[in-house]
Each structure stands twice: as C-alpha cells, then as structure tokens.
Structure 1
Amino acid sequence: MSKHEDAAKVAEVEAEKIGFGIDIGGSGIKGAPVHLGTGELLTKRFRRPTPAESSPEAVGAVLAEVVEHFELPGMAHIGVTFPGIVKDGVAHSAANVDKRWVDTDVAEVARRWTGHTAYVANDADAAGYAEIAYGAAKGKKGTVLVLTLGTGIGSAMIRDGVLIPNFELGHLEIDGYDAESRAASSIKEEEGLSYPEWAERLQRYFSHVEFLFSPDLFVVGGGVSKDHEQFLPLLDLKTPIVPAKLRNKAGIVGAAALAADNA
C-alpha cells in the first residue's frame, strides 16, 4: 500500500481517535497509526531495518522516514518504544542498539528528526500497557505482570491499570544465573530445548516471580506466545497465566496509547 493510500485510510477516522506508535527494535523499526478506541492498527505496519550502526543519528533518520510515510498532521503526538531503561524520555541503558544511546534524550532525538512531540517508553512497558488497554488484561484489577519471552525477557507491572515503569524482571538472579540467560525463548532455540524441557526452566522462573510479587495475573507475550498451548499448560502456578493478545503489534499500540494518555 502506498503512503497516499495509507493517508487516505487514516483520514477516514476522527482525529481524536488516532494515535501513532513506533517500535524501535534491534533488527527493525516499525510504525503505524492506531485507533485509540479499539487498539487496532489503521494500516499495515511500515517497517525499515534498524541501521547496522544504530546510533541516535542513524535511528533518528529512520524514525523520520517512518513518520513521513504516513503524512501525519503537524500537531500529532507520537509514541516511541525503546529497548532500554527510560526515565523522562532519556535512555539509561540500551539493549541491542548502539551504546551511544545511553544518557541520550530519546524524545528529543525523535522530535528533532520527525518534527513531532514524542513520548518514549521502554518497549516491554509499552507492550504491557497495550495488553491492559486493549488485550488480555483489559479490565483486570490488582497486580498484572506482562512478561515477553524473546531474545531476552521483557517485563511490565501494572497495578489497578497504572503502569509502574522500568520493571526489569528479566535480570533477576535465579540459581546463580541471570534469568533471561536460562529462560528466554532465544535460549530454547539456541540449546534445542523441547517445550517440556523449556517449561521446566519457565516453571523455576515464574514460581520465583510469583513468590516475590504475588500477582493477580500473568500475561505472556513475545513471538513464542503463539505456541502457548505447548508450554503454558505445563506450568504449575497459583496465579492465572494467559497468552498475550496483541503479540507483535503490542509495542506500536502501547506506544500510541501512552503518548495519547500523556499528551
């Protein structure tokens, strides 16, 4: 679909119901307009590879390309996810992108390159917020932990619908190991583990997190969540555990929703 066709589809929706999210990842940068009432993407995602030298300037240029594709109104706010700890728009760590991002104002980089005010959130936080707003945890009270199983383990805590940012549970030390070095889905692939073998590691991880935080619901995301029937039923927990609904669009949707709610 061309940029003009995408713009035409967006124009059909009332302006106040449109958000825009961009998800910065180690391999790709993707964005789309989002219907804030439903959480649905209004067009297909527009994706560009993350530059090999993923410096702030190189990534900023890609952000500009993504935004330009959709011909956003000048006053539109955008939400941006970042793979690292984010406080007040500033990166305090960087996972799978250039370390020059550390101590960089990501929101300012996005504003400078795109011309739009940007709200920046940790990628797992954005995914978690999307699940609360539109997905598997919508309407849930109490403490919800959204855990994404991928290259590492991303995590988001939401209490009574309020996001508690930068909740890094993938780096808990369990049995002398960084948790994600044993239980991430990338490790399952690298070591050739069967789902039952991997589930034993997940059991150790989720049991530990359950004991520490006594959540009311676990939501499990990441690409592997599409195969949830092969491993979630193998876990023995007191806490209900369900697969995420938004999957690979969660970052974009959550970023857009956070930007709208913090405008």
Structure 2
Amino acid sequence: MDAVPVGIDFGGSGIKGAPVDLDRGEFIGERVRIATPQPSTPEAVAEVFVQLLGKFPESTGSVGVTVPAVVRNGVAGSAANIDRAWIGTDADALLTEATGRDVHVVNDADAAGLAEVRYGAAAGRRGLVILTTLGTGIGSALVYDGVLVPNSELGHLEIDGQDAEKAAANSVREKHDLSWSTWAERLTTYYRTLEKLMSPDLIVLGGGVSKHADKFVHLIDVETEIVPAKLKNQAGIVGAALWAAEATSG
C-alpha cells in the first residue's frame, strides 16, 4: 500500500489537516484543527505543522499545504491574511526541513480547483474549468484537461475601474447587506468578463457561500454552465494532498 498523504489547509485563523484517500478523495479519519499562531511567521507555523502531523502517525506520505498566496516553485510570492514574512520564503524547503517530510505548497484556490476537477463538480469534464471561491475576496483556479495553470488571481481583474473582488466578493454582499438578486447582478458582470477573456467550458462556484447556491446561481446570467462546488470545506485539504502526491511521483 502506498504511503498515505496528508493535506493541510493553512489560513489566517486556523490550520486544518487530515490524511486523504486519493482513490476516493475523502479524509481518512477526523480532520484536526489548530489555531494559527500570531504572528503567523513561517517558523511559528512550521512548529504547528509538526504538532499537526504528529496526530497522524500512520500517514507517512508526502504533505500538501495550501497557502493564501501566489506560489512559484514552492516560493510564496504574496501573503493574504498571513504574516508578510512568507513573501519570498521557499516554503517547500523550509517546511520540508522542519517536518522531516516531503512538503509541497500550493495556492489555496488552486488546491480547491484540483480537488473539484478530480473528485467533485467538474469530475470527468474536459476543456477549461474555472473554479472561483467567493469569500473575503475571490480566488480562482484554471484547470485545462485536468492540468492546473497556477496562480491565476482572477479576482483581481479590473472591472469598471476597480478590483473585481471589491464589488463581487461574498464579504461585500455581507457588509452591504445586498439581496441575492443584487449580488447576482454583480456576479453576472464578473463572470461575463471571465467569459470574454477565457471562454471556459465550465465554471465551478466555490467558497462557503456555495452551500446557498440555490438562492443565487440561477440568477447569474451568463452563457457558460455554472455549478456549485461539491467538496465544500474539504476541497483545500484534498487538493493539497493530491498536489503533493503528484509532485512527489512526478
């Protein structure tokens, strides 16, 4: 039996992890959550990872880690809601050394996109799939025929003179108490822009608000098929484990 990989979802408030069955795209056992240390420096977070991995002694495979950052060849190029000391840090190398495991870091939205294409709403779909996570901002993942095109950052498209996420993120809906229909109008503008630029075959709508998809997805007026994500809050962990396992085998 192959060594079981572990996925870790590293965010501004919590660090969550679980071993993952890559045949089914499901957790093996219970997910563990530990509060993100403050400040969330690379060294402090690495200590939490060691603690977290100690909860899964039987899972000895590679470790995948999502981070809210652009990641190029294991190096973080930005830092959203985490300590800015991550910028320029070779996270793969630092975390591999700290944990004694083969660690591979991936952008959080990219991890979710991989998981949805392999196991979720886009499973079996070919062509260009765009996953967007609607939350504090808008994250995005581009996956073409199962291959990730990383660091797309499509939430930062300029539309009507501002970052798209400043008008259409779920946090904006909550802050301004927008109705579902009013928010859907803003999402229509956003997704029509994606259509013009990318001509996707499928859009997968992720983020926590996807559990309310029946309230607004049908109000988004675009030509491209839009479906809600299926893996919900498991997508980051599952996608991270998949990313690490494939990086190791590749």
- TM superposition score normalised by structure 1: 0.92
Partner of 2:90: 105
1:32 lines up with 2:22 in the alignment: no
In the alignment, which of 18, 40, 44 is matched to residue 30 of structure 2? Answer: 44
Deviations 1:218-239 (A, max 9, x none): 0000000000010100011110
Superposed displacement of residue 36, structure 1: 0.6
User: What is the CA–CA distance in structure 1 between the aligned matches of 2:109 and 2:229, rounded to whole Å?
Assistant: 12
Give the letter aligned to residue 162 of structure 1.
V
Counterparts of 1:19 and 1:132 in 2: how far apart (Å)? Answer: 19
CA distance in 2, matches of 1:150, 1:52: 22
Output the CA distance in 2 between the equivalents of 1:91 and 1:239.
Answer: 32
Q: Give the counterpart of 2:42 among 35, 39, 56.
A: 56
| C-alpha spacing 1:73/1:208, structure 2 compared with 1 (3 Å) | closer
Distance 1:230 1:205 in 2: 18
- Number of aligned residue pairs: 248
1:15 corresponds to which letter in structure 2?
A: D
What are the Cα deviations for residues 196-231 of structure 1, in whole angstroms up to 9, with x where unaligned? 111111111011111110000000000000000101
**TM-aligned CA distance change 1:256 to 1:232, over 3 Å:** same
Deviations 1:114-169 (A, max 9, x none): 11011111111000000011001111111000000011101000111110000110
Equivalent residue of 1:144, what SS? strand
1:71 to partner: Cα distance: 1.1
Verify: 1:258 aligned to 2:246, yes or no: no
Q: Which contiguous aligned blocks of 4+ residues in structure 1 show a shift greater than 4 angstroms?
A: none
Match of 2:175 among 190, 194, 203: 190
Change (3 A) 1:195 1:73: closer
Alignment of 1:142-153 (within 5 A): 142-153=127-138
Counterpart code for 1:83: P
Given the alignment of the two structures, is residue 65 of structure 1 paired with residue 41 of structure 2, yes or no?
no
In the alignment, structure 2 segments of 5+ residues that lack a partner are: none
Q: Report 1:120-199 matches (<5 A).
A: 120-199=105-184
Q: Could you tell me the TM-score, scaled by structure 2's length?
A: 0.97
Which of the residues 69, 77, 80 maps onto 1:92? 77
State the percentage of identical aligned residues.
54
* CA RMSD of superposed structures (Å): 1.0
**1:226 is matched by which residue type in structure 2?**
K
| 1:190 shift after superposition | 0.9
Residue aligning to 1:15: 2
Unaligned stretches of 5+ residues in structure 1: 1-13
Read off the aligned partner of 2:68 and give its amino acid letter: P
Matched, 1:80 2:62: no
The one-letter amino acid paired with 2:27 is: L
**Is the partner of 1:262 in helix, strand or coil?**
helix
Q: Which amino acid aligns with 2:147?
A: V
- Matched residue type, 1:193: L
Specify the SS of the correspondent of 1:70.
coil
**Counterparts of 1:60 and 1:195 in 2: how far apart (Å)?**
40
Contact persistence 2:19–2:59 (CA under 8 A):
no
